[in-house]
Amino acid sequence: MLTIPLLIVLSCASAPAAVEAPVEPATAAPVQVEPAAPAAPATQPPAPADDVFKPESVSQEVRDTTLSDVQKLIQDLNQIIRAQNYNSWVGHLSVSYMTAISSPAYLAERTEELYKRDQAVASRTGKDPKRVRKVELKSARDYFINIVVPARKNDRVDDIEFISENQVKAYRVDNSGQRDILYNLEKTDGDWKITN
């Protein structure tokens, strides 16, 4: 009988120890490394102050010669406009100006301005402004005939202002000294062209 309690004691004492499952080291989720942002492109340093056009740097001789050239151009343009010579007039326009005055949006705006002007003239002369016919400008030729010819056939240039070495504004000066811009001009291939 001694064997049974001994077996019980021995079985309690010799029970195998619980084996713990081996713990694997925890692995962190892979870290996403964002690529570095590309370096900003190197910016051009500001232009040296010497590269900026200064109108006061134009010599009096160049200014006088340019004024004379522009006055001659406007005299020639006056004759072309009076003769309603569209093709010659177009030859004095820059490509950008011709493109601008040919655009439907530009022509629509000038159509409305012309209509309002004609209505105002009718009203001032005692006519019914509602009876004024609206002239539709559909092309650069229409613009030339209806806007340029009546307004530009007797222009004169009294002064110029240099915008750059090859760009000037041509002005007419009225009796009160007010300067009105007549044309923006740009020298291209040795010739002055009307530009916008």
Tell me the C-alpha to C-alpha distance, in Å, between residue 95 and each of 14, 91, 132, 152, 156.
107, 10, 34, 20, 24
The pTM of this model reads 0.69
- Residue 44 CA to residue 140 CA, distance in Å, equals 41
Within 13 Å and on the Cβ side, how many CA atoms surround 10? 6
* Chain segment 145-193, per-residue pLDDT in tens: 999 999 999 999 999 999 999 999 999 999 999 999 999 999 998 999 9
Domain-by-domain residue ranges, the chain?
Answer: 58-195
Tokens found for residue 27 = 């692995």
Task: State residue 44's pLDDT score.
Answer: 53
* Chain segment 35-81, per-residue pLDDT in tens: 444 444 445 555 555 578 888 888 999 999 999 999 999 999 999 99
- Of the candidates 58, 52, 96, 86, the one whose C-alpha atom is nearest the C-alpha of residue 184 is 96
